[in-house]
Amino acid sequence: MNDISEILRALLDQFASTSEVEREFANMMNNDSQLKEDYELWCDELGYDRKTGYQDFIDEQMRDRDEFWESMSE
């Protein structure tokens, strides 16, 4: 089983913008039926909507990163 959270975090580290992460992950799911199935299970387990789950997760990760850096600068 794919660890969707880790895949999305790795993509965030790799790409400069969230739109690139979203585009790449959507492309990955289109090309990998197992990834798509794992994603749907991940959404169900964590309470994310299947249409927007990865986008919501990415937004949460970005907020967490911003909060971390804000607290470090204080």
Q: Which residues contact 36 (CB under 8 A, 6 or more apart)?
A: 29, 30
68 pLDDT higher than 70:
no
Looking at per-residue confidence, does 66 or 57 come out higher? 57
Q: What pLDDT is stored for residue 16 in this prediction?
A: 79
Contact 15, 28 (CB under 8 A): no
Longest CA pairwise span in the chain (Å): 45
**Band (1; pLDDT cuts 50, 70, 90):** confident
Contact 27, 39 (CB under 8 A): no
pTM of the model: 0.82
Q: What pLDDT is stored for residue 74 in this prediction?
A: 65
**The two structure tokens encoding residue 14:** 């790799």
**The two structure tokens encoding residue 55:** 């986008």
